[in-house]
Structure 1
């Protein structure tokens, strides 16, 4: 039995709501994507920080998962914590929001017939009471996601290299060069999944050649394109 993953666009700007069913005894690979997620797994409400390397499904093996994935740069304002503090971490929301708020949300999720929809509602209500994400950093993420260079992006927003790096740590969890690598890998994977030959996918995504993409895949995902994209 294979993993069953479904996703759909959220009413929260730029976010994606998703569900995942993992058969008992198996794990689900999670690759860096520049995003942060609010997760409901095994009765726990978790925050998944931005990843710099591949991991597996957040808790144990097998089970039902629900989440809302926030576009790069949008979750820190919502959660009230800089992204770099959550880099490569999975943290109980109660550790970020101590006291009644997190407890109430846990109880609400536990009783919800549709945890994914409940997570989306939580995000929307929270957003109504918090400062919007930094529009400059959302623009930075969009530019890097489209394949624009870090230097050109910095110039477009009028930030020096140090300023951009510092603000990127807070918004994305790591510097703009790392975010550019992660988003480039995701572009290549999207192309490869659609049937584009690996060599073409590499160049179209922004790598110098297929060997470059292979190195990035090993470094960021810990595997090969063929191993990752071949169903098991």
Structure 2
């Protein structure tokens, strides 16, 4: 079962999930799809960081209990203290970033919490307060791209050149603004598909040229077809596209 709620940390989402172990072993769980986000995860007593994905991610080892804090695009690097491109398409132990002693202390704190989701959120809030606010320029880039704007238009709007925007995007998102635009467009399309909009209409509504364009993006970014996505989304074991459970 998957649930999510808005976090007290601006732009973030808190989500607990209990995985069906049998379904996980038989592969009946949808892969995690790129969404522009990064997550701090507690997974069966292990603290992890899920970096930004550029393709569908299927864990090698399934865990049963998860709690996550999903950061809005571009906001996690300041919190974690590492540029996003270093974590692209990776899941790493928090100890690799914050040291073994600190990761062990935080793990024990969350393990003992009556509400692990609240415990993990408290860790995120405390660390974020020390890290300072995210870059407002990049937040505006995300807003414009998520609204279907072009990369050139976003660069002009925030007053930076293409090279500078690409460099800052690597640090914030893990990849360039063109990839971010593709990821956000795919997520817009999948939101429409989940709402029952026909594929062709969803493609156009999200900003794709046509249904064939959306199908290619699904293969390139998700590694599955739209039909497979819908089948898994309708199953009891499916997770929302942004849910980033991982080994």
Residue equivalent to 1:8: 5
Instruction: Measure the CA separation in 2 of the matches of 1:153 and 1:173.
Output: 18
The counterpart of 2:50, out of the listed 48, 51, 71, is 48
Higher relative contact order (CA 8 A, sep 6+): 2
Instruction: Measure the CA separation in 1 of the matches of 2:163 and 2:93.
Output: 32
Alignment of 1:120-131 (within 5 A): 120-131=121-132
Residues 43, 63 of structure 2: 8 Å contact kept: no
Residue equivalent to 1:20: 17
Residue equivalent to 1:113: 114
Residue equivalent to 1:169: 170
Instruction: Measure the CA separation in 2 of the matches of 1:22 and 1:130.
Output: 32
Unaligned runs of 5+ residues in structure 1 are none
Q: CA deviation at 1:23?
A: 1.0
Q: CA deviation at 1:155?
A: 0.5
Residues 165, 175 of structure 1: 8 Å contact kept: yes
Instruction: Measure the CA separation in 1 of the matches of 2:130 and 2:62.
Output: 36
Q: Which digits, 9 at most, give the CA deviation of each residue in 1:59-93, with x for residues without a partner?
A: 62251111010010000001110000000011111
Q: CA deviation at 1:98?
A: 1.1
Secondary structure of the residue aligned to 1:189 is: helix
The yes-or-no answer on 1:225 pairing with 2:222 is no
Instruction: Give the structure-2-normalised TM-score.
Output: 0.89
Alignment of 1:26-175 (within 5 A): 26-27=23-24, 28=29, 29-56=31-58, 58=59, 60-175=61-176
Residues 9, 16 of structure 1: 8 Å contact kept: yes
Residue equivalent to 1:210: 211
Residues 44, 63 of structure 2: 8 Å contact kept: no
Residues 25, 61 of structure 1: 8 Å contact kept: no
Secondary structure of the residue aligned to 1:68 is: strand
Instruction: Give the structure-1-normalised TM-score.
Output: 0.95
Instruction: Measure the CA separation in 2 of the matches of 1:64 and 1:97.
Output: 23
The root-mean-square deviation of aligned C-alpha atoms, in Å, is: 1.2
Residue equivalent to 2:239: none
Number of equivalent positions? 228
Q: Which has the higher strand share?
A: 1
